Chain A
Amino acid sequence: MIVNTRTQVLLWTAQRTSAAVLALCVLIHLITMIYAVKSGLSAAEVLGRTRGNFGWAAFYALFVAAIAIHAPIGLRTIVSEMLGWRGAVLDLLVLAAGIALALWGWRAVWGVFV
C-alpha cells in the first residue's frame, strides 16, 4: 500500500481545503464571466486585461492548483466505490491525472498571461 492511513486522512483534509478554495474561485470566476459577457468584451479585450496582469495569473494559477488537488482525490473515491478498484495502480493513475490537470491548467494560464 503506497497510501497509508495518515496519508489517506491528509488527502481527505486536502480535498476539504481545496473545496473551500474552489467555492471562492468558482464564485469569482462566474462573476467575471458574467461581467465579460454582459459588457460584450471581445477576446482581444479580455486578453488585453489578462496579459501581464500578475493578479489574474495568480488567481487562476490558484484555481488550477485547487482543481488539480480536488478532482483526483474525488476521482479516487468514485472509482473505488463504483468499480471496486483500489490499490497502488489506482493511486498512481489519479496522481497522474492530478499532474496532467495542473500542467494543462497552468499552461492555459500562461497562455493568457504572456
Chain B
Amino acid sequence: MDTLKVSVWRGSGSGGFRTYEVPRLESQTVLDVVTYIQRSLDPTLSYRFACRVGVCGSCAMTVNGKARWTCRTHVARVAEGDQIEIAPLANLPVIKDLVTDMSRFFDKWAQAKGQFHGTRTRADDFARVPPDSPQRQAVDAAIECIGCGVCHSSCDVVTWNPAYLGPAALNRAWTLVNDVRDTARIPRLAAVAGDAGCHACHTHMSCTERCPKNLVPTASIAGLKRAAAVAALRGEI
C-alpha cells in the first residue's frame, strides 16, 4: 500500500513539524489524513472539524503552504509526490497544533458592523425584495460565505496590518450595504472605511483565488471602496 509522508505542525507558536506515515487511499481528503493521524497514530493531535461536507467552515488549515478547507480537498489534488505539509491557518494565533484562535477573525465581523439592522417587527408583513434587482443580485453573489477564515489567512494585507478587517468581514458588510431592508448603511460604511478597512486592500486577489466557495471578496471590497468614497465626499462619514 502506498503511504503519504505527512508533516504536521505540533505545539503552539513555538512548536515544530512532526512527520507521520499515513496509508494512501482512493478519494482520501486532507481531513481524512488528519483524522487518521489523531485516531490511529497520535491521539494528542488537536484539530477542528464538524460537518465534513463543506458547510460549517471549521476545518480550514494550511496545506502545502496554502489555506484550504480540508474536508473537501482531495489528497490527490494537493500532494507533492507523497508529501503533504499541514499547518494551522496563518494570520491567527495558534492555540495548539492545527487549532487557531478564531476570535480575532470573528471580532472583525462585529467591527465591520456585520449585524443586520432593520425596522420591521414580527407583526409586519414580509419585506419583498425582487430577486432580479441589482442589490439582491449583489447580495446573492457574496452571501454564501461559511466563515472558514481561508481568505483572512491568505491575505497579505492582514499579515502586514493585523488591524485590517480582512476579506470575510468586508464581504459580509457588502451584503448588508446592498440589503434594501437594512438601516445602518452609513455607520457601516464608516466602520469599514479607511486605513484598517476596505481602502487598505491592494487587490492582490488571494482571497478570491483561495475562497473554497468561489466567492469574490475582492469585488465586494471594491464596491465598499466606491460606496465609502462617495459617502466621504458627501460628508456622510
Name A residues whose Cβ lies closer than 8 Å to a Cβ of B: 3, 5-6, 8-10, 12-13, 77, 80-82, 86
Contact = CB atoms under 8 A, between A and B. Distances in A.
Contact of B229 (A13, A77, A82, A86): A13
Contacts of A6: 193, 232, 235, 237
B195 A80 contact: yes
Interface in B161-199: 161, 190, 193-195, 197, 199
Contacts of B197: 5
B190 A12 contact: no
A72 B232 CA distance: 21
A77 B194 CA distance: 11
B233 A81 contact: no
B232 A10 contact: yes
Mostly, the A contact residues are helix
B30 interface: no
Contact of B199 (A8, A80, A82, A86): A8
B190 A13 contact: no
Interface of B: 157, 160-161, 190, 193-195, 197, 199-200, 225, 228-229, 231-233, 235, 237
A15 B197 CA distance: 16
Nearest to B156: A81
Contacts of A9: 193-194, 199, 228-229, 231-232, 237
7 contacts: A5-B194, A5-B197, A5-B237, A9-B231, A13-B233, A81-B160, A81-B161
Contacts of A8: 193-195, 199
A81 B157 contact: yes
A9 B224 CA distance: 11
A80 B196 CA distance: 11
Contacts of B194: 5, 8-9
B161 A80 contact: yes
A12 B200 CA distance: 9
**Which 3 A-B pairs rank lowest in CB-CB distance, beginning with the nearest?**
A8-B194, A9-B232, A81-B160
Given A9-B199, A9-B237, 17 more contacts: A5-B197, A6-B193, A6-B232, A6-B235, A6-B237, A8-B193, A9-B228, A9-B229, A9-B232, A12-B229, A13-B232, A13-B233, A77-B200, A80-B161, A81-B160, A81-B161, A82-B160
Contacts of A81: 157, 160-161
A5 to B, nearest CB: 4
A82 B229 CA distance: 25
A104 B233 CA distance: 30
B101 to A, nearest CB: 21
B185 to A, nearest CB: 15
A86 B200 CA distance: 13
A9 B232 CA distance: 7
